[in-house]
Amino acid sequence: MSEYKLYNNSLGKPTIVCRKKDMAFIPMSEDNTDYQEYLQWVAQGNTAEEAD
């Protein structure tokens, strides 16, 4: 099971990544340190669960 799940905004565009272990909602903003960790996780070949 993926550690992250994508969430869409009101216009149907994914702008939030949810870190499932603590249900933290992480904006796709490159100066957010949690998003930086997510990008490293993706760079390791992992893929987030698609938005509903």
7 touches other proteins (CB under 8 A)? yes
33 touches other proteins (CB under 8 A)? yes
As measured in angstroms, the least distance from the Cβ of 12 to other proteins is 11
> Amino acid identity of 4?
Y
Based on CB atoms, which residue is closest to other proteins, 24 or 39? Answer: 24
If binding means CB under 8 A, how many residues of this protein chain bind other proteins?
A: 19
Q: Which two tokens stand for residue 17?
A: 């990544």
As measured in angstroms, the least distance from the Cβ of 34 to other proteins is 5
Rg (CA), the chain: 10
